[in-house]
Structure 1
Amino acid sequence: MAEQAETLRRTPLSRDRVLRAAVALADEAGIESLSMRNLAQDLGVVPMALYKHVANKDELLDGMIDVVVGEIGAPEVGADWKPAVRQRILSAREVLQRHPWAPLAIESRNMATPAVLAYLDAVIGTLRAGGFSVDLAHHVMHAMGSRVLGFSQELFDADRRAGRSGRTEPAPPAALPPEVAAMFPHVAEIAMAASHDDASVLGQGCDDQFEFEFALDLLLDGIERLHERGWASPRRPH
């Protein structure tokens, strides 16, 4: 192992090596731990050596996002639009689960990176090849939102809203105080429904993968019905 590490340190720096080392560092310790100094230390170089390959921290982050998005698998050749889009999105979700810092990093960018643009272009291309009008494809992408990249902004995901990444096990939902449950009975019902029995294969709390696929399939089924009806958005008067 020591020889392997030494060999890696002696390998000449390249942009790809810098970006992949940064991704590995973020995966291991979280994106908040990433700095040019820490990355240089991991690579066994002085920080200034990194600037020959990335101009600054923003460019580093953009490159890291592109490395991650580049891991998303393409659908099977010849697949119909619906299974192709579903397969691509679930592949994206699998990739982003390996890199739990990536969703917030993607959201933090003012402009989409080249790999993100290429990915979105491919998804839209699949819809267009499936006979979707530009109008319907446009609205589908709005409806999918971040889900098309394999993640969603969950309403009850406090850890994600707080900016924490890489949760290992979801915390069981806290019981609502009786007086709050009495005031908001429907919220209380949902909270109780989310508390699965300890013996359940899902464990305590909602199963994130199931909920993601459930919502994705609802969207895809609805989109399919609109497509079959030849749906078009209402034209607004000028």
Structure 2
Amino acid sequence: MIQPRHGKSTPLSREVIVDTAHQLVESQGFEGLSMRRIAADLGCTPMALYRHIRDRDELVTLLLDRSVAAAPEPVLPDDPRQCLITLIDWQYHGLSAHPWAIPIVQAGDLMPPSILGTMEKIYAALTQCGTTPEQAAVVYRIVWNFVIGSLTHRVHRDRRATAPPAQVTIPAEADPQTYPTIAALSSYWRSASRGNSFREDLELLLTALLDAVTSSPPTETP
């Protein structure tokens, strides 16, 4: 039995460790996660944790698995393109609900095995759209980079003050005599919905990629 800071005796187990780690990352972000901090919160030594968790990487993988399991997949439409959009949009919003997970998936070093089911559905839908397996891998790699970039932008946007960033104000206030094309887009730069168009942008990107890879035969390796 261990004596956590809140005073209630709790048996130390993998589930208890993951619960405590989850509370930490949700309240303090990924940078606040350490085995030493978890041990302090649970009232045990860091070495005691390693009887249940192999290392920090395994703990983070378990946290990612928990987040995936907590977000059941949506009902998928029969049309493969709409199925793709639904699945990828679900991935985006699932990750945006857990900002601490974004730098982990961005680094690409760790991956929860539970995500394989979603990946299988995405690759299957891509091949149903007419891609080869190799083309499907390329399309999803490009789309995934778009998802990560959009998530990173969203996290920074949500953390910013209410004042618009320089990426908005500088082009919005561009001199129309010197930069007429940029200045003509002034209403676009100032639009409140400019940063909230993930699904629409995803549809455009997928359409362009699928049209590009399916309109020409795959290149044969000599």
> Shorter-chain TM-score: what band?
0.7 to 0.9
Deviation at 1:28, TM superposition (A): 0.8
Structure 2 vs 1, CA of residues 12 and 168 (structure 1 numbering), >3 Å: closer, same or farther? Answer: farther
Structure 1 unaligned runs (5+)?
197-201
Cα deviations across residues 72-125 of structure 1 (Å, max 9, x unaligned)?
Answer: 432425632222222222222222122112111112243544234443233213
RMSD: 3.8
1:83 match: 82
1:139 match: 138
Aligned residues between the structures: 215
Cα deviations across residues 150-196 of structure 1 (Å, max 9, x unaligned)?
Answer: x3315994x96xxx696276641333399985766655665763223
2:42 match: 43
Structure 2 vs 1, CA of residues 25 and 168 (structure 1 numbering), >3 Å: closer, same or farther? Answer: farther
Which residue identity lines up with residue 153 of structure 1 in the other structure? G
Where 1:96 maps in the other structure, the secondary structure is: helix
Alignment of 1:212 onto 2:204: no
1:31/1:101 contact within 8 Å kept: yes
Structure 2 vs 1, CA of residues 11 and 191 (structure 1 numbering), >3 Å: closer, same or farther? Answer: farther
Alignment of 1:193 onto 2:188: yes
2:170 match: 176
Q: Distance in 2 between matches of 1:225 and 1:23?
A: 41
Structure 2 vs 1, CA of residues 177 and 93 (structure 1 numbering), >3 Å: closer, same or farther? Answer: closer
Q: Distance in 2 between matches of 1:131 and 1:39?
A: 48
2:73 match: 74
Which residue identity lines up with residue 63 of structure 1 in the other structure? L
4+ runs of 1 displaced by more than 6 Å?
177-180
1:19/1:64 contact within 8 Å kept: yes
Structure 2 vs 1, CA of residues 236 and 53 (structure 1 numbering), >3 Å: closer, same or farther? Answer: same
1:101 match: 100
Where 1:216 maps in the other structure, the secondary structure is: helix
2:25/2:33 contact within 8 Å kept: yes
TM-score in terms of structure 1 length: 0.69
Which residue identity lines up with residue 221 of structure 1 in the other structure? T
Structure 2 unaligned runs (5+)?
none
TM-score in terms of structure 2 length: 0.73
Q: Distance in 1 between matches of 2:130 and 2:172?
A: 53
Q: Distance in 1 between matches of 2:171 and 2:157?
A: 28
Q: Distance in 2 between matches of 1:12 and 1:152?
A: 38
Alignment of 1:167 onto 2:159: yes
Equivalent pairs: percent with the same residue? 27
Structure 2 vs 1, CA of residues 183 and 110 (structure 1 numbering), >3 Å: closer, same or farther? Answer: farther
